[in-house]
């Protein structure tokens, strides 16, 4: 399946998706009884796998900004993390559902873990006052939260994949490579 | 031939710019408000409409199931209202007498010079690094933060939730009582012994608890004691309920070193908060 997705369509899908997912995540954060997926982390990852190029990079920046705005200690940190994840996901993108499943699954695991540890480290490096816990304690808390976050992000990634498949569905799509493909892939690779 | 140079330069440039932005905006009283003001004008109303829509749909379905219990509750409230009206009539004379006495003796009640602004919670914390929550009240509602000056945030029972961390035009970020950077001077309710510190703790936060330390030797604290703000430091007015002592930790000699405190406020159920501000006419 070779997805010839126009820029206009991508902008509409990702624009609406970003706004909607941001609102859903903010809403989910109010009912924090169970772990919920970090949709603003997952969107750039999966978008970059789906349509490689600069989509993940830009979405990472935008989603990171919303995270910074909503709950961050300053602006920029969430954007850097989102941007880097978007770029890494773009570099890993390959054709085909099988590759998407394998690489997407790995990306979700690695991105969740790296995000958790990186943000814990940054939070530790930039305390909001002159007292701070030990780095070991911060990392221990990160590890303790990891299983719940991984599970919720996996579920979120599956749901998001379904949404992207529907949003980019083409009735007469030709399957030349037997997987996900974007015209922008070559742009990114030069 | 692939030209990676410009792309790498772009990525490095953006990263450096974002790092500088983070350093600038993470410092107190910096440019964060301008960025947030601009974005918040568009984003906050959308968030409010979305959450209002979700609440409306939820309310529609829950209204059917809760109708019976509401009727019962309404009857109880009407009865309670009647009793309260009766009590008000009885206490009217006492209130008048109290006001006269207060004027005569120049008594000052708690929070007299404080105005209160209510605010809906727009979102909660997301995890490490994104550990503040946002409420829908900002500079246009009179909330301002500068240097050591901040505003306490409480619930409807005047139990401490946290303090304002930063403000935008129409919204503010709140540092909750469980945050490791939060600290407040406290004392045991009903005593006037020396005050100590109650602060957030990274590990205890996972259990919804915080810690009391800097406790002077001989300070009588027992499990079950209620802690209130001491008023020292000038940020938090005296008498705001902080929480209850659930554990007392001692050293090898049996001296008390810290207490574990369960905040009075249930942070999981919060939807609205109240920001205490000094009245404008205080001067």
Q: Which residue blocks in A51-96 are alpha helix, DSSP H?
A: 55-71, 77-92
Interface check for B15 against chain A (CB to CB < 8 A): the answer is: yes
| Angstrom distance (rounded) from CA B67 to CA B124 | 30
Q: Residue A30 CB: number of other CB atoms within 10 A?
A: 19
Give the pLDDT score at A188.
45
CB contact under 8 A, B25 and A126: no
Residue A189 pLDDT grade (very low, low, confident, very high; cuts 50, 70, 90) = very low
Question: 3-state DSSP call for residue A2?
Answer: coil
Interface check for B211 against chain A (CB to CB < 8 A): the answer is: no
Q: What is the pLDDT of residues B133-179, one digit of tens each?
A: 999 999 888 888 876 778 899 988 889 999 998 888 889 999 999 99
CB contact under 8 A, B126 and A30: no
Q: What is the pLDDT of residues B101-133, one digit of tens each?
A: 666 555 445 566 778 888 999 998 888 888 899
Most A CBs within 10 Å, among B4, B10, B123, B210, to test the A interface:
B123
Domain boundaries, chain B: 34-110, 115-278
Query: Which has the closest alpha carbon to B200: B213, B190, B191?
Result: B213
CB contact under 8 A, B173 and A71: yes
B23 interaction partners in chain A (CB closer than 8 Å): 74, 76
Interface check for B8 against chain A (CB to CB < 8 A): the answer is: no
* Window 125-154 of B, Cβ < 8 Å to A: 125-134
For chain B, what percent of residues have pLDDT higher than 70?
86
Q: What is the pLDDT of residues A41-82, one digit of tens each?
A: 999 999 999 988 888 999 999 999 999 998 888 888 889 999
Q: What is the pLDDT of residues A127-182, one digit of tens each?
A: 877 777 788 888 888 888 889 899 999 999 999 999 999 998 877 655 444 345 44
Interface check for B216 against chain A (CB to CB < 8 A): the answer is: no
What is the biggest distance separating any 2 CA atoms in chain B, rounded to whole angstroms? Answer: 92
B129 interaction partners in chain A (CB closer than 8 Å): 72-73, 77-78, 118-120, 122-123
Residues of chain B with pLDDT under 50: 1, 107-108, 282-283
More confident position, A185 or A6: A6
Strand stretches in A38-158, DSSP E: none
Give the pLDDT score at A46.
94
Pick the CATH number of B115-278 from 1.10.10.60, 2.40.10.350, 3.40.50.300, 3.40.1190.10: 2.40.10.350
Q: What is the pTM of this model?
A: 0.79
Q: What is the pLDDT of residues A72-111, one digit of tens each?
A: 888 888 899 999 999 999 998 888 888 899 999 999 999 9
The dihedral through the CA atoms of B45, B51, B56, B57 has a sign that is: positive
What is the average pLDDT score of chain B?
A: 82
Domain boundaries, chain A: 7-189
Q: Which residue of B has its CA nearest to A113?
A: B128
């Amino acid at each position: 399946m070779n997805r010839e997705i126009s820029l206009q369509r991508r902008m509409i899908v990702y624009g609406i998706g970003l706004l909607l997912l941001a609102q859903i995540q903010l809403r989910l954060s109010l009912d924090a009884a169970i772990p919920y997926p970090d949709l603003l982390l997952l969107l750039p990852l999966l978008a970059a796998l789906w349509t490689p190029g600069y989509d993940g990079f830009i979405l990472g920046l935008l989603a990171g900004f919303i995270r910074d705005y909503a709950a961050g200690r300053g602006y920029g940190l969430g954007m850097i993390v989102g941007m880097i994840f978007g770029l890494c996901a773009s570099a890993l993108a390959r054709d085909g559902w099988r590759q998407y499943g394998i690489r997407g699954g790995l990306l979700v695991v690695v991105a969740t873990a790296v995000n958790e540890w990186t943000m814990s480290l940054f939070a530790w490096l930039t305390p909001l006052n002159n007292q701070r816990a030990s780095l070991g304690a911060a990392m221990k808390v990160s590890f303790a939260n990891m299983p719940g976050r991984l599970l919720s992000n996996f579920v979120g990634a599956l749901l998001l994949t379904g949404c992207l498949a529907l949003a980019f569905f083409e009735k007469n799509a030709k399957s030349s490579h037997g997987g996900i493909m974007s015209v922008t892939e070559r742009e990114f690779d030069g | 031939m692939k030209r990676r140079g410009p792309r790498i330069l772009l990525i490095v440039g953006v990263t450096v710019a974002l790092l500088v932005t983070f350093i600038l905006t993470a410092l107190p009283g910096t440019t964060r408000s301008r960025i947030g003001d601009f974005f918040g004008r568009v984003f906050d109303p959308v968030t409010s409409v979305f959450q209002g829509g979700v609440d409306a749909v939820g309310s529609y379905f829950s209204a059917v199931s809760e109708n019976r219990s509401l009727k019962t509750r309404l009857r109880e409230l009407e009865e309670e209202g009647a009793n309260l009206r009766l009590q008000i009539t009885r206490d009217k004379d006492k209130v008048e007498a109290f006001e006269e006495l207060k004027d005569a003796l120049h008594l000052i009640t708690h929070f007299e010079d404080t105005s209160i602004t209510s605010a809906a919670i727009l979102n909660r914390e997301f995890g490490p690094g994104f550990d503040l929550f946002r409420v829908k009240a900002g500079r246009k509602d009179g909330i301002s933060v500068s240097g050591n000056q901040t505003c306490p945030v409480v619930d409807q029972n005047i139990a401490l939730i946290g303090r304002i961390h930063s403000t935008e035009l129409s919204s503010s970020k709140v540092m909750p009582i469980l945050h490791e950077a939060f600290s407040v001077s406290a004392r045991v309710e009903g005593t006037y012994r020396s005050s100590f510190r109650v602060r957030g703790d990274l590990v205890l936060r996972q259990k919804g608890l915080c810690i009391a330390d800097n406790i002077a030797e001989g300070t009588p604290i027992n499990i079950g004691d209620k802690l209130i703000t001491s008023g020292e430091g000038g940020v938090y007015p005296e008498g705001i309920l902080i929480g209850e002592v659930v554990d007392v930790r001692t050293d090898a000699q049996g001296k008390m070193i810290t207490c574990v405190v369960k905040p009075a406020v249930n942070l999981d159920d919060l939807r609205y908060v109240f920001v205490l501000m000094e009245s404008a006419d205080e001067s």
